[in-house]
Structure 1
């Protein structure tokens, strides 16, 4: 998730990664309230719903950043695997083990009843089934995409811009059609978000000086409004929360995410301040640990005052998560496993 380069040409990418990191924490901090449609006060629901919608550019932007930064130059599979893939695998395994052990020790006493072999078998079963923590789905997805990048990179770089846009349009149309028709099978996450790679590559190389700033701003506002109003309409129509438009691959989130990506790219300027540089550097580790931190933040009035509770929760979680990753990095070998 983090590609740390100090090239001033990509200052926009650093800032965008910071925004996406904060965005994903915001989505998870607010996630418990929107499903309570009709069960909480309208003010509470709308506040959390709007905050959640505004943050939903996070996952698409992370994937588009990978496309923009990793598809620019050819890379041999072995070199890419060593320099990029393993950098996300080792921290993932470390934090998967951490989550697994804490779950067994804090929620049950099963860990102490297991032999080393029994626990290893249990842990490998959790890993193979993505059953350790709900946010690890992203890591499985991005690892799959990373394995594809050395092989599809050449095709994407040689493709015409019109072909890239056509492929992206057809891809996401197909994904959304499957979502709304529910044919009885689920699209693997890696395939669901594959279209964001060539889209990110395309957006990463276009000259934003030739595009009026009203375009990305318009896409952003339009995408957010469709998601906010559309989700309410669908939920009100069915008398229960409908999360169809919350999906990261649906058209409104696609428009929104493209708008945010272009907006940050058009605002490329001075490097981030110290806080931004810190979040950018440790963004992957913050992503991995933040759910563990969120689970320990108990604000009793979060559901009553989400306009205050959600931002405060996000702020506390970001500070604590960053501190945890920073401290682990200070230990010998810590930088290889913290993220």
Structure 2
């Protein structure tokens, strides 16, 4: 098997997570128009891929960026600029798109709302950018504390991140049982995602396989947990609550069920990476698309929503897909949107001076 500096299961998780987000946005049209029909089960199943995809994205940031010692200059140049440059490009594209196709004119207040990812605008997806910027600042501060502690005490980093992971689980439990409300402001909501940063680092850097529980047993356990928790979430909560209230309902990210589901999927990929199957995938034809999607995952996140909107807006002139099977149309939109996103991003990446807007990782 070829050796690589990249961790393959990180790439596989990132590719799965971004495709999960595209699935969510492709399914929105079907979810909001069909709560009381039988196809709602299918639409909700696809839409809620988002509910483990976002936590996994954040967990990967923790696994990759915690316990580093970047200087302030490197932090701004290597971390924040990689976020902000593609974001600035795409937010301008979204504002222009909105002016032409949605608002039919330029309105400064609307453009500002798009920039800040206000939920009622076409820029709704940009909330993630502001959240991840705040999280990155938090990572930088924690890394500086950790570096200082390690200079004074051996093993400080292991103890620090173990305690922070335990406190993060406790925090999510507090939110789960309504002992704290992270949704009272955007700032508390965004900062709350630090919990997934610490949990992601802990899961990536600790081995849960021992004498009593082998690798294969861990794979079977996490597979059963991942599938059963997701099916319970969809058919035990989302569908019945949505049908009873006639309003699409789902859990927030700071919930023990979402945490358990996201963590089990993370660990499933981690331990599958140690099997011969993973080696065959990395040496086979599947490795290239997985690595490509992972590499451009940030760019896909920024571009896919507009591409998907354009596809739906034009296709519905000829086919009323909202009254047809979501089992066909949702994957159809996901495939076309992902392919078009990758094509556009690869073209942008080859243009001199503006290649950074493609959001390559």
The TM-score, its normalising length taken from structure 1, stands at: 0.85
> Is 1:104 aligned to 2:99, yes or no?
yes
Residue pair 2:117, 2:127 contacting (<8 A) in 1 also: no
> Is 1:213 aligned to 2:227, yes or no?
no
In 2, Cα distance between equivalents of 1:333 and 1:31:
36
In structure 2, the residue matched to 1:193 is 193
State the 1:142 CA deviation.
0.5
What stretches of structure 1 move > 4 A for 4+ residues in a row? 121-126, 181-184
State the 1:251 CA deviation.
2.1
> Is 1:59 aligned to 2:54, yes or no?
yes
Residue pair 1:37, 1:240 contacting (<8 A) in 2 also: no
SS in 2 for 1:249: coil
List gaps (5 residues or longer) in structure 2.
Answer: 147-156
What RMSD over aligned residues (CA atoms) do the two structures have, in Å? 2.7
SS in 1 for 2:348: helix
State the 1:306 CA deviation.
0.6
> Is 1:266 aligned to 2:254, yes or no?
no
Out of 138, 143, 153, the residue aligned to residue 153 of structure 1 is: 143
SS in 2 for 1:75: coil
In structure 2, the residue matched to 1:251 is 256
Residue pair 1:208, 1:262 contacting (<8 A) in 2 also: no
In structure 1, the residue matched to 2:124 is 134
1:159-197 Cα deviation digits (max 9, x unpaired):
356523421222112333449x97993453312322100
Out of 330, 335, 344, the residue aligned to residue 310 of structure 1 is: 330
Aligned residues: 322
> Is 1:230 aligned to 2:220, yes or no?
no
SS in 1 for 2:68: coil
| Structure 1 pair 168–37 and aligned structure 2 pair: CA distance change class (3 A) | farther
State the 1:54 CA deviation.
4.2
1:132-183 Cα deviation digits (max 9, x unpaired):
511111111111101111111355735356523421222112333449x979
In 2, Cα distance between equivalents of 1:149 and 1:14:
21
In 2, Cα distance between equivalents of 1:83 and 1:329:
17
State the 1:66 CA deviation.
0.1
Residue pair 2:117, 2:124 contacting (<8 A) in 1 also: no
In structure 2, the residue matched to 1:77 is 72
Residue pair 2:98, 2:104 contacting (<8 A) in 1 also: no
SS in 2 for 1:7: coil
SS in 2 for 1:57: helix
* Residues 10-19 or 208-217, more deviating: 208-217
List gaps (5 residues or longer) in structure 1.
Answer: none
> Is 1:327 aligned to 2:347, yes or no?
yes
Out of 104, 128, 134, the residue aligned to residue 144 of structure 1 is: 134
* Residues 55-64 or 265-274, more deviating: 265-274
The TM-score, its normalising length taken from structure 2, stands at: 0.80
In 2, Cα distance between equivalents of 1:164 and 1:92:
30
| Structure 1 pair 19–208 and aligned structure 2 pair: CA distance change class (3 A) | farther
| Structure 1 pair 184–132 and aligned structure 2 pair: CA distance change class (3 A) | closer
| Structure 1 pair 108–185 and aligned structure 2 pair: CA distance change class (3 A) | closer
* Residues 210-219 or 142-151, more deviating: 210-219
In 2, Cα distance between equivalents of 1:261 and 1:234:
27
State the 1:233 CA deviation.
2.9
1:67-122 Cα deviation digits (max 9, x unpaired):
000113222233122111110100000000111012112334534xx8xxxx6x87
